[in-house]
Amino acid sequence: MKKTLFLIFYLLCGGYIKADQDISFMYLQDNEIKPADEVFVISYFEDGGVLKVNWSIEDGYYLYFDSILIKENQKIVDFDITDGMIINHEDEFFGETKIIRNILEISSIEEIETNLIEIAYQGCSDRGFCYPVQNKNIK
């Protein structure tokens, strides 16, 4: 009798643990952290000495506008937004910030004279995960 009760108890608890593991696994799948290069797809080209940089931002993610930095030989390059919209956002860590969703295209104001350009940017997901600053060296 004790063996039968133990077996029933074991089977019931084992099923509960298995169901709990399945739920945890599903939760992890829904909260998969994608690489920054997949959610912030960046491309760039030079047009008559002007550097143009494009971001395609996956749904559910955003870039911090103030995190975008372009340097030419360690000198900051000013830029204009040619496509995309800045949105005011209340951030739980930084307070009122400016973000960009979906797409962003910027163009350098002055002509680029060198082949060594550094681009830095940072973004987050709507689920609360923030990526470290991403640095790209382009030539």
Greatest CA span in the chain, whole angstroms? 87
Residue 63 sits at φ, ψ, to 5 deg, of: -105, 145
Which among 67, 84, 81 has a CA at the least distance from the CA of 119?
A: 67
Spatial contact of 131 and 36, defined as CB atoms under 8 Å apart: yes
pLDDT at position 93 is 77
Helices (H) and strands (E) in the chain, counts: 2, 12
pLDDT at position 7 is 45
| CA 78-80-83 angle, 5° bins | 150
Whole-number mean pLDDT of the chain? 83
Distance (Å, rounded) from C-alpha 46 to C-alpha 50?
A: 5
pLDDT at position 126 is 92
Tokens of 6: 């133990």
For residue range 77-110, list pLDDT tens digits in order: 999 999 999 999 998 878 899 999 999 999 999 9
pTM for this prediction: 0.74
Residues of the chain under the 70 pLDDT cut: 1-31
Which among 92, 47, 46, 42 has a CA at the least distance from the CA of 68?
A: 42
Specify the CATH number for 36-138; select among 3.40.50.300, 3.40.50.1000, 2.60.40.1250, 2.40.220.10: 2.60.40.1250
